[in-house]
Amino acid sequence: ERARLNRLRHTPAVTLDGQAVELLANIELPGDAAGALESGAVGVGLFRSEFLFMNRGGDLPGEEEQFAAYRDAVVAMQGLPVTIRTVDIGADKPLDRMSLQELRHEHALNPALGLRAIRWSLAEPDMFRQQLRAILRASAFGKVRILVPMVAHLGEIRMTLDALTRARQQLDDAGCAYGEVEIGAMIEVPAAALMVGRFLDHFDFVSIGTNDLIQYTLAIDRTDDAVSHLFDPWHPAVLRLIDETISQANARGKDVSVCGEMAGDAAFTDLLLAMGLRSFSMHPARIASIKQRVLRADTRRLLANVDAVLRAEDPALEAARLFSAAIVH
């Protein structure tokens, strides 16, 4: 079993009909990069940088500390791409008491709809540029991509790109080295999914955050036990937003990935492949199972079933029925 898993780790994820699929890792701290490599991931699709900011008693990491952390992750990945998401602070990931969150931004009645992620970064422009500079500097050590969480407005895109331009200028002025960095948006708010064509005028790639996309599409708080049974990744509205996002990005020739839990759930692999997805980012522990699923999939046979699943009364049941028939065991 060990030998088989080891072989699997070095096997490229290619479908039966020869479609190459990229399986990437989600990490929370630079120390997770070793496990990501071990799992056979071909890069980091989501580095949740907010974990550098949490659980530290309100003190926040400055540019040098962040730079060291991003550089360590990039170096550990040995030339494979590392996608660093700017802080997704707020909502389910609050800063510690008496930190900036408390001092300046208290009283959120509805934190999931409040000042979180890119909204928080744009409200703290100095800290945002500090983080952007740290990420840019890490790009001198390997392939780095920047991912922006929770974007919903075109205005936020403009402000984000301005901040990035400023950060580059500041590094130029200081004579600091940095490399080419692509910038992408998380698609995790329905507004972003519906606007993805316009968003792609400004971004190099998109990554679908299904956890939040489900929460915001269905108006179900991810963290509220009273409604968690209504958190339904198979809801047709959710599936349609995902399908539309993948199609639009593919039509534009831009990279699209899924980095929410769905990417690591084998029940969705066939459907996502059928929708045209070729990049999945997940917890490293999920990579082996998803790879096995990919190796058995034939996207030509899966493709015909997408509409039936999207139209079905019970998409989960329909997907299980159609895709198990289309899989070559």
Binding residues for Mg(2+): 188, 212
Residue where the block lists tokens 């900011």: 53
Of 11-19, 71-79, 205-213, 313-321, the segment contacting ligand PEP by CB under 6 A is: 205-213
Least distance between ligand PEP and beta carbon 81 (Å): 17
68 closest CA partner among 146, 137, 148, 168? 137
Which partner in Mg ion, ligand PEP, none is near 243 (CB below 5 to 8 A by kind)? Answer: none
- The piece of 28-36, 58-66, 68-76, 207-215 that touches ligand PEP (CB under 6 A) is 207-215
Q: Which does 259 bind (CB under 5 to 8 A by kind): ligand PEP, Mg ion, none?
A: ligand PEP
Range list of β-strands (E), the chain: 22-27, 44-48, 82-85, 144-148, 181-187, 205-208, 255-258, 279-282
Strands 181-187 and 22-27: unpaired
Query: In degrees rounded to 5, what are phi and psi of residue 26?
Result: -95, 130
Q: Does 284 bind Mg ion (CB under 5 A)?
A: no
Residue 48 interacting with ligand PEP (CB under 6 A): yes
Cβ nearer to Mg ion, comparing 191 with 251: 191
**Least distance from C-beta 211 to Mg ion, angstroms?**
5
What is the DSSP track for 290-322?
A: HHHHHHT--HHHHHTTHHHHHH-SSHHHHHHHH
209 scored as a contact of ligand PEP (CB under 6 A):
yes
Question: Would you say 222 and 215 are in contact if contact means Cβ atoms under 8 Å apart?
Answer: yes
Q: Is 176 a catalytic residue?
A: no
- For residue 138, give every residue at least 6 positions away whose Cβ sits within 8 Å of its Cβ, in sequence order, or none: 67, 70, 71, 73, 74, 82, 84, 144
Binding part of the chain for ligand PEP, among 124-132, 208-216, 231-239, 242-250 by CB under 6 A, reads 208-216
Indicate which residue of 21, 259, 262, 326 is catalytic.
259
What distance in Å separates the CA atoms of residue 184 and residue 164, rounded to the nearest whole number?
Answer: 12
H helix count then E strand count, the chain: 16, 8
Check binding of 260 to ligand PEP (CB under 6 A): yes
CA-to-CA distance for 276 and 269, rounded, in angstroms? 11
* Position 32 contacts ligand PEP (CB under 6 A): no
Which parts of 161-220 interact with Mg ion (CB under 5 A)?
Answer: 188, 209, 212
One-letter amino acid identity for 277?
L
Rounded to a whole number of angstroms, the minimum distance from the CB of residue 151 to Mg ion is: 11
Choose, by CB under 6 A, the member of 193, 196, 241, 259 that binds ligand PEP: 259
Is residue 212 part of the contact set for ligand PEP (CB under 6 A)?
yes
Q: Which parts of this chain interact with ligand PEP (CB under 6 A)?
A: 46, 48, 88, 188, 209-212, 259-260
